[in-house]
Structure 1
Amino acid sequence: MTHPLEDHGLLRLLTCGSVDDGKSTLIGRLLFDSKAILADTLSAITKTSQRRGMQEVDLSLLTDGLQAEREQGITIDVAYRYFSTGTRKFIIADAPGHEQYTRNMVTAASTANLAIILVDARKGVLTQTRRHSYLAHLLGIPYLLVAVNKMDLVDYSQARFEEIQRDYLDFAEQLGIRDVQFMPLSALNGDMVVERGDKLDWYQGQTLMDILETTPSAQKRHAAAFRFPVQYVCRPQDASNPQLHDYRGFMGRVESGSLSVGDRVTVLPSGLSSTVKALELGGTPLTTAETEQSVTVLLADEIDISRGDMLVKATDLPTQTKQLNATVCWLAESPLDRARTYLIRHTTRDTKAKVADIAWRVDVNTLDKQPVNQLAMNDIANVTFKLAQPLFVDAYADNRGTGAFIVIDESTNNTVGAGMVV
């Protein structure tokens, strides 16, 4: 019999909130209380804390690895931390709080499955809270957890916790955020992080660690339509092995859904169909390939397939389009130039693109939509592109794998934008 908590798969989570609300301390507390840090690391941060005249170990030093941040006491870049418990593995992205680092947060949020939005119990819901909640919702993070931190500084008041919860739900409703969990905690003292503590007995919910260990991973979230962008066509050249003469394997990653031997697949853009003859993972035969597995697919029929084509099931086709309407986050210092041609990379397919229209830019502080003619760094806007070649897309809300793309500057080959198909 398997234990109900056996292995829930990898969980990617994002911590966000405004400056000084204890994100780094919370991550430090998680690592410390779950015994995920080494003795020499603990010794080093204990010494640093003592040098600064602190009574307690400063757990935020575990995550603020960048020297510039330590000196300013703020988180600038996205710091990734890896740890595991007996139950599952975790990747934590600690996203910066300031508005000018919106692009860093978008990058971190694009693969996260759970966002912890920290709120300081003394300050309540701030502009930053609204901005981060909007971005987390925009980027399709399926699970949102509002953690009201520093409860020790408001005497662990249940009334204050419930007031913050009401304030948050008021604006969350306007954004269309429906599924959100709330919990009180004190990262500094460790109440409700890994251990329950004895100060929050009025809160009956799970501890933060319990929530992290039981949140469904990306693969288990929903059975999306099967999507397999072809990365490489494998034709082994081994004259001594006659069996390899007819071997044609299509290599790539299952972006969503699953595929089994015997399934019928359709190839896009040609529209030709065949049956799956075999599936391999690193030379080992499989009967079924799941989401996020990188596999080789062998088909029963000789079909001309190349990199950038996509294998799908005829019952559930993506949209084939030469016009793309998307929410775009502009990542580059040079603004979006409507006169230029850009390259759009979507899964394994590239196409030239021109900007047809910028409908609006969102003010990430007020969440108002404003008319604009160009995009500056960190802007988030609704943009329509005209494409030279068709792409096979799903709405980002339905499928993060085939609903996302990047915009590339052809002259420098730099990534200048990230988009989510509307």
Structure 2
Amino acid sequence: MEYRLEHLNSGPDGAHILASWIGILFSISINVDSMPSDSKFDTPSQRMCRLVQRLQSSGISDDEYDIVSQDLFNDIVLAGGDLIRRIITTHRTSLVSPRLADHLFLPIPLFRMVDSSSSPPSSCSQNQAGSGSLQYTPCANKYFPEEIKHAHPGADNLPFTIPPALPAYHIGQVTVLETLVHDPLVDHVACRVLVDGEEMFCKAERGGVAFGDSVVGRDLRTMLELRAALADLARVGTQQHPPPVPLRVPGLRGVLHHPREGHVVGFLRDWVPGASLNSYEMADLPVELREAWDRKVAGTLAELHQLGVYWGAAENESVIIDLRGEPWVVDFGAKVNLGLKREEDDREEGDWLDYDFIYHYLQTREVVVSYVSEDDSDQSCSENDMLAGDEEGGGNGDGGES
């Protein structure tokens, strides 16, 4: 879970940090009387202030910036990591709201850095010797930024192209019906939602999707690649490449934008009720059914590779069994950094290595990869027939995510 220093400001008597971590934006005010000439005598507040000042220096190199910013974040976590985790967990587990904005844009907690453990335990993080602690404060100091943006710096620089024909929505058009991410300490949300009277699946994160560590961005990028590959296939003609198995992959329905700042925060795709493969006890299922699931998922994976698309997230939670007992492949690109260039052979091999875990979970006696056509002739690989699945194993939804 990556951190981001969204905004830094400092002066002779203090500094301010606006940072994001595990999906929450938070403010830290640092007030100091003076700065010692020798940093070895720094209090925790003075050390943190000195790090902010160094990061603001015009002469700092990229490598040094990375090192100093990591030092600063380590100090933040040491002083208040437990407190921040408790806040985000409380918000995420108690929040019941139909507004997507309430799930994405949590209230910004205001902290101040203190150098002693004199504050009551309920109002500050657990103090550690020499680390200082973060304490709630009613207002930020004078170095608080005049304007706060939800977008991470660089959020407009998408490393992929979104076609103009793909519908665009803003978060106010989305009504949350059910949240699906079971781990509160992740930096994105996944929900079953209602859009224009239709149930869909939504995945989004506050600061945007234009980053290598963005789970949402990797998923969106791969679904865009699949959408383009299917469109190219339709133009050439499916008779030249008849799919041996129906391509059970959710169809991309649109992208989500921040209503004011405009950056892409997520996407919408088809929703199909179901449960993840992980929610089934394999010993209770006939071996013929497990072999059929193995054959169909492996066939879909092979078809994706034929189209030049890679799963990047082959695991039990990413296979959804719909209400008809058919398996769907979901949750793309989770293990592939947006900025990472890998050989196609490596990506294909990685998919199959990951798929071994699914195969062994299915407890089939031998690998079954005979990609035969299905009996249900109403299925096809066209975009209109791509229903949905999702990442978290739920009892009444198309699964979920961790």
Asked if TM exceeds 0.5, the reply is no
TM-score, L = length of structure 1: 0.25
Q: Which has the higher helix share?
A: 2
TM-score, L = length of structure 2: 0.26
Q: Which has the higher strand share?
A: 1
